[in-house]
Structure 1
């Protein structure tokens, strides 16, 4: 039987989601916990990748297992077994063909910026000393909306067939002690959100204008876009799926 596991994690201690040799990852830790508690090898397929240091408030992965009789008990035992920076939030029974990555309809991220020094957000947000023109950054963010080729924001040498993504929402807002950038799309390229944020920060500090952002997108050249901002400010906040893949 196929299951989706919903979980969250603080990414500071991990080299991203996906298993890698000689590096501790969230997938490795979660697979080990499931395998110990269910007493057989459990392999997870995640909804996507997160880079080293990136956090997730809502992440999904699927696994197959026969004989799970009490989901709530497993969730309780997993949370007791796992380290404090990983939490299991739910387990869903799915149709056999359901796929955590390929069935995802939309993914959402947040990026946090501090423009005043805040020791309590040191590991949760990127501190930038310059004044930011949020209104102008939102005008630049509007240029991202719709289906476009975003190769200019993609990490090089990635295993994708194309660089087209449909961005549904992209907006900055001040949230008390920090400034949040929220973005949703059908898919994201590797390093895409961090490169977008870096480019929009160039707009907010006056280094780049709106016409240049248009030129950057058309260029399909990563070297034309802004720097990748630090991973610690990035959060995967939601992954949405069609109701039709959940078992009734």
Structure 2
């Protein structure tokens, strides 16, 4: 048996998230079905993390164990797999790794984007969140700077999640103006469930309601989800990068 990493990307609009569920169609289900048709053996995939219903991924890695003889040519395998997958799921790379490599636990950094637009645009439906009022970007970036570093981010976590710690190290948090609207970029060693959408909602409250940027410090110290802003809709969120110490980035 050989362990492989598979790099994939998907539009999450039609799916109830990444992870397998009993009564809903997920990205993992569609990927496993296509893999089993090619490999002709039961396949179990392990993803770098879960994405919620409607969330997209520009890059996600999964690992799987299969007999190396079932994948004689990586390029042909990817071509066949893409032909079997629906149009909104694509595979990009197949990488042989050592037997102990783990798509979830070995990731040292993850990055997300949240997209916002202001004018009605039929081409951005399900891919960006339309906001009526324009927030103060400078104030939101001042507030976002307080997110940097290693802190307890329990105030941005979905309630009753089973995690050992709420400590995360945020390396980047910044809003960028683009032609269609705004994009929020955030990168950290790990993220809590619903964390990015709650952070975006909190920053927007500061930018729209003219709250002082420093109020985010009190929210973080409270460790209370009720003190943070409302979670923004899932369809504006993209997982954009997962970093491993032993996988180089594509040029």
2:135 matched to which residue of 1?
A: 132
1:102 matched to which residue of 2?
A: 105
2:78 matched to which residue of 1?
A: 75
1:38 matched to which residue of 2?
A: 39
2:196 matched to which residue of 1?
A: 193
**Residues 211-222 of structure 1 aligned to structure 2 (within 5 Å):** 211-222=214-225
2:152 matched to which residue of 1?
A: 149
Structure 2: unaligned runs, 5 residues or longer? none
Give the match's secondary structure for 1:201: helix
Normalised TM-score (structure 2)? 0.95
Give the match's secondary structure for 1:34: helix
Which whole-Å CA distance do the structure 2 matches of 1:170 and 1:49 have between them? 21
Is contact 2:168–2:188 with CA below 8 Å preserved after alignment?
yes
Out of 174, 177, 180, the residue aligned to residue 177 of structure 1 is 180
- Aligned length, in residue pairs: 245
Is contact 2:143–2:214 with CA below 8 Å preserved after alignment?
no
Q: How big is the shift at 1:244?
A: 7.5
1:205 matched to which residue of 2?
A: 208
2:27 matched to which residue of 1?
A: 26
Q: Residue deviations 1:10-35, cap 9 Å, x none?
A: 00000000111101100111011101
1:232 matched to which residue of 2?
A: 235
Is contact 2:146–2:217 with CA below 8 Å preserved after alignment?
yes
Give the match's secondary structure for 1:236: strand
Which whole-Å CA distance do the structure 2 matches of 1:219 and 1:155 have between them? 15
2:165 matched to which residue of 1?
A: 162
Q: How big is the shift at 1:132?
A: 1.1
- RMSD (Å) for aligned C-alpha atoms: 1.2
Which whole-Å CA distance do the structure 2 matches of 1:122 and 1:22 have between them? 26
Q: How big is the shift at 1:182?
A: 0.4
Which whole-Å CA distance do the structure 1 matches of 2:118 and 2:222 have between them? 30
Normalised TM-score (structure 1)? 0.96
Give the match's secondary structure for 1:216: helix
2:119 matched to which residue of 1?
A: 116
Greater mean alpha carbon deviation, residues 116-125 or residues 139-148 = 116-125
Structure 1: unaligned runs, 5 residues or longer? none
Give the match's secondary structure for 1:103: coil
